[in-house]
Amino acid sequence: MAQPLAQIRPLRVAVPADPPVLSAARLLSPRQKAAVMVRYLMAEGALPPLTELPEHLQAALTEQIGQMQLVDRDTLAAVVQEFLGEVDAVGLTFPGGIEGALGLMGSHISATAATRLRRLAGASTRADPWDRIAALPPDRLAQLLEGERVEIAAVALSKLPVPRAADILSRMPGERARRVALAMSRTADIAPDTVRRIGAAFVTEIDSTPVVAFDAPAVDRVGAILNVATSDAREAILAGIEEEDGAFAQALRRTIFTFAHIPARLPPRDVAKVLRLVEPAVLVTALAAAVARPQLQPSAEFLMANLSQRMAQNLREEIGERGRVKDRDGEAAMSSVVEAIRRLESSGEVVLIVQDEPG
């Protein structure tokens, strides 16, 4: 709203300096004064978007404008003067409503506290539920619509921003996506209250989802730990898990990415990008440890084969000079290479090759 307010001050309204003129403004109610200001800003082309207001306030303001008649110049000047005085006196502004407060607090409170506040607010909040739905991550939004009837999904996509709706539609199976898109053509006559109730039902479902302590699934958390464990410890742990829960052990093996997996899963074009994140001395230690182990030699050769000839030759010479590497030092150095790959994967700079599961 800063830009429209800045435009009010130079507008062509003579505001008399004589205080008694404000008596005209005192005859108006706050709602009438708001209507005068909105009408004035509209005439001057400086009106901010009223869609940011709650719908009940938009309706009340429009109704009040419809009831107004003529306003003389002294009254207009007094209302503008009073409005500018109130703006100048503002020290802080607050968002209003529980959703606005939660948006302001952001990560400063726990997810559990935020969920509890939303449940306490319940249906009393006047915030548009679709604002909150549109802010959901794409995966969560797709999951929310997955089991809904095509008509409900069509209403939801119609309320979302076009890029987000296109993303969600592309995640649906082909036949369902076709049916939802067709159903969108039949949403023109749906009443606003019905659309709001659908949004409120989605919000209720979102709030009823239990808050979990960990963002990542258990298999990803255990796999991340095993990724940096020593190979002997990793295999011993996996063998023990396999005896207790074969399915979980199999899922873990699919999640784990170790130095031995590099040739099969790291795209050759990304080798140089990965190794730039590894300290030269650590890289030499990792390669020296790998070439000494037959099962890891392919990984060492793969990395050096995808570097420039001069760099690969320098590494081979340094490996020869490095000599035998202690097992603990070698494991730590190879883990550093794997961690660099994982960091680039997490940031989206590297996309690992997905291997087919054994049939």
Q: In this predicted model, what pLDDT tens digit does every residue of 285-307 receive, in sequence order?
A: 999 999 999 999 999 999 999 99
Give tens-digit pLDDT for 83-96: 888 888 887 777 66
Per the CB < 8 A criterion, the answer to whether 223 and 255 are in contact is yes
Across 49-53, 65-69, 305-309, the highest mean pLDDT is recorded for: 305-309
* pTM of structure: 0.45
pLDDT of 264 > 50? The answer is yes
pLDDT tens readout for residues 12-39: 444 444 444 445 566 788 898 888 888 9
Res 346 pLDDT > 90: no
Count, residues in the chain:
359
- pLDDT of residue 178 exceeding 50, the answer is yes
Q: Does 134 or 319 have the greater pLDDT score? A: 319
